[in-house]
Structure 1
Amino acid sequence: MTSASLAALGVDVGTTNTKVVLTLLGDSVREERTLTVPTPGNGAGLQAVVLGAIREIAVDSPYPIAALGVASMGETGCLVAPDGRPLGDLLRWADGDTATADRLVAAAGAEALYAATGVPAPAKSPLTHWLRLAADGDARLADARWLGADALIVEALTDEAATDHTLAARTMAYRLPGPGEGLAASFDPELLALAGVTPERFPRVVEPGGIAGTVTASAAAALGLPVGLPVVVAGHDHAVGAWAAGVREPGQAADSVGTAEALLRVADGVSREGARRHGMSLARTVDGAHETLLAGNPTAGALVEWAFAELLPGADRHDVQEQALGRAGGPVEAVLVPYLRGRQSPAPDPAATLRLVELASAGDAGTVSTGLADPAATLTAVLAGLALQLAWMDAAQTDLAGPRSADLAVLGGPGAANGAWWRLKQRFVPGALRRVDAAEPVATGAAMLAAHRVAGPTTSLPLRSADSAASAGDPALLDAFVRAATLHDKEHA
């Protein structure tokens, strides 16, 4: 693009908060204005707050808006009536039903289901929610449709029920193509049939590079947007943030932290069975060109909040974080094995729980600790456990996909803003960590993708220079952490 700026709106529907950003794009990317609102618990509320935030930005924008992009968390959606009205609460990724998921797996076989979809966690999927509601005799299923969080916003703007392949891939109802094969153009009838659903109940899947629709006259009048404004489903939040940061080629990787932490590696030709055993999901990059391998800790940022509420009640947050930063370069004597609700990857274990362990030496698998002497030591143990968990995910991805590039892009969030957590990641994760220079990389990435699709190529978000030397990691400490985590599994099997 030339130095002349183009303005686009980006939406990021997150688990805890939703962000709407006005972004200016040209030779650089600038976040002009951001609104952050709590993500409501029901579909109608979500539409109302997002459209309200869009309107607040649009009516005051000094720049003509050329496009609008929507990114969202995966798996979360809502039942919708034939006339488009959302029906009740959001069905969230964090509200999975293991017993119902087991029925889904039994019907198809775990290996076959993963081979077809690339998704290892059926408890989170919309198909599992649908089966559970059917078993409960929910009358809404007679004529309801299912829309993901992204599609709820897109349909309210365009009257088009549409999603993209990166979000469709999270549903367990979209067939993952083999390496070199083209993406499916729609949800898969055979997979949908596992939950007794037919394709017309799910949204259209937009091809890579396409748009979902254009803003209707009624939405334009209500929101202060141009009639016919192109609307793009940018995709799954982690994939969108990674693309925005320039993570687009095999070997490149991004670490994305919010309520959950996700490590996304671009990699072609990964063993599907190996990825399944490690609890990692496979999909495609937003442009459909390469496979992505995604490892996750679903309660990373949530664990830090839990620690302040449960382990450090009444502690001065700023002071404790500053003291933990002072300790982050020293010996690691204890870690909190960081599984607030089980471990997703590697070595998946839904029964894995929190445990504070002392690592007396590199050869010690870990012993249960009754507590630490002061709040700073406690927080350091929490953050060290999270950083080592990331290093373990990174090592497992390397086993599956080969070496990654030396730089790891880090997408903002608490993992970059918390100084002690950041320093511990720098110590334990090999290579150089480079922060994405954007406050809201996913929402901004959604705006960038929208502009890219309607006006041509855009630049990537800049990465800040690494503020420490590249690390070799700490293999001995990582080995001790992994043995402590897996010993926990054996003791509670």
Structure 2
Amino acid sequence: MTLVLGLDIGSTSTKAVLVDVRNGVRLVHAARRSTPDDVDALIAATAAATRECLTHADTPVVAVGIAAMAESGAALDASGRPITPLLRWDRGVDRRHLQRLLDRDPQLPARTGVPATTKPAAVTLIALRAERPDMFAALHHWSGVAEIIAHALTGSRATDLTLAARTMLLTDDGWNEALLRDLGLAPSALAPIRVPGERAGRTGPMAAVFGLPPGVPVHVVGHDHAVGAWAVGARVAGDVADSLGTSEAVVRITDTVDQARAVTEGFAVSRTIDGSAVTVLGGNPSCGALLADEERRRPGTLRLLRGIDADAWEASPMTVLPYPSGRQCPQPDPTARLRVIGEGDESDRARAVLQSLVLQARWIRESIDDLAGSPAASLTVLGSLADRYECWAPLIASAGVPTRQSVALEPVAAGAALRAAVVEGIASPEVTLPVRVVTPASGPGLDEAFHRFLTAARAVSVLPEGES
């Protein structure tokens, strides 16, 4: 065995996986814990998941890879102690703080490749300074969740380019020192950026709580969606990965893109985790969260959807606009709201909700194709939702792009492990997580449903949903 540990610090849950990379990628054990908002509790939860994995290790772990959600982090004092809870990307920030940033530099989104939303760390820091000046005055470091875990393991502060790029504080030459000065922060407030393949450090004495000995190489491998895309083989121009979880991300690999236009349309532009190509990412923050909310309001919805075979899918006559709190892309609209159009029974509504997520993702992907100047060549679906609902990947495939589905459990965590193994020279750069070919659903009416969806979504006025 050649064992590598992969960590994925996600919005809802934190995952640890132990994989054997001796011949491909074989999962040995996976563990999950809820992702807490308390920094110390986050470290403890990650350590507990790691220790569980290590009880299944017959040989020592030779490397650790860390992937994480972007934009979530915490302020730390000079001693490294947290002075805020985890300030998450989805917690909601007054848009006036974003506007202050744009008033200072209207071209900042276009230059950084980060859309003008309230999620980036730059906006979080402005909000913290305005709303909690006492906490801001005590701030010595800002650390994203991957950096928090890397520091707990190694004693060193480090991040990677794909996570740094999501802060809106990155320039071509490193951290934006002028903007940081305007915020009242030194560049050292942010973690040093490691180039692709560079270690964050090696495990130190504090790693004992994780069950790891000193000296194990640790890598912050990147933004979770970018890691997942790379792991399932989306690595060259034309490849697309659709990552399904609490939120959804469509990641397109391309040679070039009009960055300013892409950002205006609500897409983020960055690089692959190995730095070899450009990525265009479009997100839908209400993916799994929307299904969970629908189940709370109409118990039995999820059971119904799990029971539908892809071959038996029929397009719902109802149209749902899946925007509980605004649309991120395309055509960004923070005022867009959830809306149900048309009449039908409980089955029609359940299918319409899932259908809306599939159609929103198709709109995102086709918009990225337009930005990239070419159609997608391949599409790989990954994430627990695709495993849970057997019809989901076939519905995605019905749009006509050759589609595969990851069959790896916890593909982002496994991808973090694989990336660490590759850069340490213990796995081939050609290895990817296992996938299977997806047969498209032949459900009649899906194209017509897509056109109805686009007409409704592009409407100028989107009203809040009324109960039907």
- Give the TM-score taking structure 2 as reference length: 0.93
Matches within 5 A, 1:284-295: 284-295=271-282
Consecutive unaligned residues in structure 2, runs of 5 or more: none
Q: Residue 157 of structure 1 is aligned with which of 147, 153, 163?
A: 153
Q: Residue 122 of structure 2 is aligned with which of 127, 137, 146?
A: 127
Q: Residue 196 of structure 2 is aligned with which of 205, 208, 220?
A: 208
Q: Specify whether residues 475 and 434 from structure 1 end up closer, same or farther in structure 2 by C-alpha distance, changes over 3 A only.
A: same
Give, as a single letter, the amino acid of the residue that structure 1 aligns with 2:439. Answer: D
> Who is 2:324 aligned against?
340
Q: Residue 258 of structure 1 is aligned with which of 236, 245, 248?
A: 245
Q: Is the 8 A contact 2:247 2:284 kept in 1?
A: yes
1:355 equivalent in alignment to 2:327: no
Q: Residue 105 of structure 1 is aligned with which of 102, 106, 111?
A: 102
Matches within 5 A, 1:65-464: 65-97=61-93, 98-109=95-106, 112-144=107-139, 145-175=141-171, 177=172, 184=173, 186-216=174-204, 218-310=205-297, 312-313=298-299, 315=300, 317-318=302-303, 320-322=304-306, 324-325=308-309, 329-358=313-342, 369=343, 372-374=344-346, 376-427=347-398, 429-456=399-426, 457-458=428-429, 459-464=431-436
Deviations 1:438-489 (A, max 9, x none): 0111000010111111124341112212234899995544232111112253
Q: Separation in 1 of the partners of 2:211 and 2:449?
A: 55
- CA deviation after TM superposition for structure 1 residue 491, in Å: 6.6
Consecutive unaligned residues in structure 1, runs of 5 or more: 178-183, 359-368
Q: Is the 8 A contact 2:146 2:159 kept in 1?
A: yes
Q: Separation in 1 of the partners of 2:444 and 2:191?
A: 46
> Who is 1:486 aligned against?
458
- CA deviation after TM superposition for structure 1 residue 265, in Å: 0.3
- CA deviation after TM superposition for structure 1 residue 143, in Å: 3.9
Name whichever of 441-450 and 89-98 sits farther off.
89-98
- CA deviation after TM superposition for structure 1 residue 141, in Å: 2.1
Q: Separation in 2 of the partners of 1:431 and 1:244?
A: 20
1:26 equivalent in alignment to 2:17: no
- CA deviation after TM superposition for structure 1 residue 334, in Å: 1.1
- CA deviation after TM superposition for structure 1 residue 160, in Å: 0.6
Q: Is the 8 A contact 1:426 1:471 kept in 2?
A: no
Matches within 5 A, 1:30-69: 30-69=26-65
Q: Separation in 2 of the partners of 1:329 and 1:220?
A: 49
Instruction: Tell me the secondary structure at the aligned position of residue 329 of structure 2.
Output: coil
Q: Is the 8 A contact 1:11 1:446 kept in 2?
A: yes
Name whichever of 52-61 and 119-128 sits farther off.
52-61
Q: Separation in 2 of the partners of 1:490 and 1:73?
A: 29
- CA deviation after TM superposition for structure 1 residue 194, in Å: 4.5
Q: Separation in 2 of the partners of 1:300 and 1:469?
A: 20
Q: Is the 8 A contact 1:254 1:410 kept in 2?
A: yes
Deviations 1:103-160 (A, max 9, x none): 1111111xx1122210003301112111112112432322421000000000011111
- CA deviation after TM superposition for structure 1 residue 60, in Å: 4.3
For the aligned residues, what is the CA RMSD?
A: 2.2
**Number of residue pairs matched?**
460
Deviations 1:343-384 (A, max 9, x none): 0000000010111113xxxxxxxxxx5xx322x221101011
- CA deviation after TM superposition for structure 1 residue 56, in Å: 2.9
Q: Specify whether residues 127 and 297 from structure 1 end up closer, same or farther in structure 2 by C-alpha distance, changes over 3 A only.
A: same
- CA deviation after TM superposition for structure 1 residue 302, in Å: 0.5
- Give the TM-score taking structure 1 as reference length: 0.88
Counting aligned pairs with the same residue, the percent is 36
